[in-house]
Amino acid sequence: MKLKALESKVRKCLKNYPETRGSDDLLYIEVLKEMGIFLGQYTADYWFRNYRKMGLPSIESVGRCRRKIQEKNEALKPIKEIELQRRAQEKTFYNYSLGF
């Protein structure tokens, strides 16, 4: 899938489903629904082995699009508590990467 098309679907989901602004997992599910894909019809094993062959985006790509969109549009950012949690997790990962 082209990134511009993915970005459009991500933006639509962020606008229509505010709960997706703070959860890449929920956002991914809604983006797939926008594409006509319903995860319930697949086993996890099948999904992880075949989603690329099906031409579907990874959850990482959806997350990158979310960050780009939210960077440019304050109205599509999550609530402050979620932003604070993310910053704390970033600090934890940063310290982990440094070996602390």
List, for residues 38-90, the tens digit of each pLDDT value: 999 999 999 999 999 999 999 999 999 999 999 999 899 887 777 777 777 77
Which domain, by its residues, includes 48?
3-98
What is the number of domains present in the chain? 1
Whether the CA torsion 80, 82, 86, 92 is positive or negative: it is: positive
Chain Cα centroid distance, residue 73? 16
Q: Would the pTM count as exceeding 0.75?
A: yes
60 vs 43: CA distance, rounded Å: 20
